[in-house]
Amino acid sequence: MSRLDCVLAIDLGTSGPKVALVGVDGTVVDSDYEPTPLILTPDGGVEQDPEAWWDAVSAASRRMMDRGAVARDAVIGVCSTAQWLGTVAVNEAGEHLMHALIWMDARGAEFMPDVCGGRVVVQGYEPRKITRWIRVSGGAPGPSGKDPVAHILWIRKYRPDVFRDAKVFLEPKDYLNLRLTGRAVSTVDSIAGHWVTDNRDLSHVDYDPKLLAISHLRRSMLPDIVRSVDVIGEVQAAAADDLGIRAGVPVVGGTPDVQSATLGSGAVDDFAAHLYLGTSSWITCHVPFKKTDLFRRVASVPSAIPDRFVAGNDQETAGGCINWLRDQVLWPRDALDPEPAPPDALERINELAASAPPGSSGVIFTPWLNGERTPVDDHTVRAAWSNLSLGTSRADQVRAVFEGVAFNSAWLLHAVEHFTKRRLEPIRAIGGGARSELWCRIHADALGRTVEQVEDPQSANVRGAAFLGIVGLQRSSFAELARSVKVTQTFEPEPSTCALYREIAKEFRAMYKQNKGIYARLNG
């Protein structure tokens, strides 16, 4: 048993929470994970049960603490990160009133023409509205209806009982903090995704009355705002019992997953980029300016580091495509194959993909299983395998899924580099998908950039949350903690494969442009 002072870090991912004990030197001492299911509703919603979140966090934390890697009194703080752009309706007693609408839920799309539009519309926005959004907040809610503004408006119309009884609407990370401390607050970076805050002066972020009015939201339904590094309270006795830690431990504000990944990748300098490969994906970096590229869906959003911005963007499905391949195609537990996926299913999928040649014998997979956010905002577009033939093998189809995500990443990299006005290299690879050497290699060739595989890449988010807690408790600095993040392998682009992938990527983008109208008619 170690007496190293540690922060208990919680990372509430879409597939379930991971918890970790991270020493004040940046070392991950122990960790655990507990899955939580997605709830797919008949009307196209994507929800999760907040009680299941808390039960899973508690189960993973208790298991970890019971192993005794550190003494209980060595836990000096708690800090959380979570999936971003979700909505939890909470009543006066601090109880959630319904399932959370998560970042994949697009049922609020019907309300966005009223919010974003007007008599004159350009790219889906009334010019005066979008000018206000960009100047004040730095971004705007997307027409896809997957932002919290759309969630709240959907609840107002279709769950009026919940809307009536709701005291406050919280992001998933902020809901965890409510369970921990009894206090309902949001952080500067977490609330930014509502696009109703004035982010021009990051030392004084507050709600903008005009943006609230445009979005049909009331200030009273949203939480007070604090910094990510602020201590917001102490762990209450009931929460401490659930987690297996001492009551009274300070809780630091925390951050959404995009920002925690930035910290946990170790790429904290301006223009130091990382590629996240989890259920979703993104390429981002810190930037020294506030601006918005509305056409490519990239914007400067507040960082977890006080008074800093990150280039915000998000691709809907990356590792989610591999999980779909496993659960719905290869081992779907249906009449043809009633057996569940084996424990080593992902390793088998990776091995099969590696057996196919680069380019997947001409097969192209478009990875838009749940629409897309960036570099295009289109909730109707869908995934497909294209260019199949009688000679197409299963290995070709599987590798095409890996490559399709990478082609989408290359499309996004073009948007991010246009935004930053510079070449981003090297790019650090983090997230569960970055454990795959094959996928790191494919991305290096598809991006045409050096890719650095970070040690323990699936712990990047929980590590970033811990770093935030350690800094908030004044036990270290971001720069010092970033140096604790090691690179295990470096993948240089292979020229001949890069040339092949560039040609395929052109057709990949052409498929979207030529077929988007079909998808809109089928899924609008």
CB atoms under 10 Å from CB of 523, counted, come to: 14
| Residue 375 pLDDT | 86
- Which segments in the chain show pLDDT lower than 50? none
Alpha-carbon distance of 258 to 300, in angstroms, equals 12
In three-state secondary structure terms, 12 is strand
Contact partners, residue 178, CB within 8 Å, separation at least 6: 90, 94, 170, 184
Amino acid at 45: G
This prediction has a pTM of: 0.90
For 31, counting Cβ atoms within 10 Å of its Cβ (0-12 exposed, 13-18 middle, 19+ buried), the class is: buried
Q: How many residues are there in the chain?
A: 524
| Distant-in-sequence contacts of 328-337, Cβ < 8 A, 24+ apart | none
Which of 160, 159, 182, 161 is closest to 170 using CA atoms? 182
| Residue 143 pLDDT | 86
* Element at 277 (helix H, strand E): strand 273-277
Asked if omega into 375 is within 30° of 0 (cis), the reply is yes
Tell me the DSSP string of 433-456: GGG-HHHHHHHHHHHTS-EEEESS
Render pLDDT for 96-132 as a digit per residue (tens, 0 to 9).
999 999 999 999 999 999 999 988 887 789 999 999 9
CB atoms under 10 Å from CB of 335, counted, come to: 6
The interaxial angle of helices 437-447 and 394-420, nearest 10 deg, is 50
| Residue 405 pLDDT | 97
3-state SS string over 465-477? HHHHHHHHCCCCC
DSSP state of 368: -
Query: Rg of the chain over CA atoms, in angstroms?
Result: 22
Task: Quote the tokens at residue 373.
Answer: 């956010």
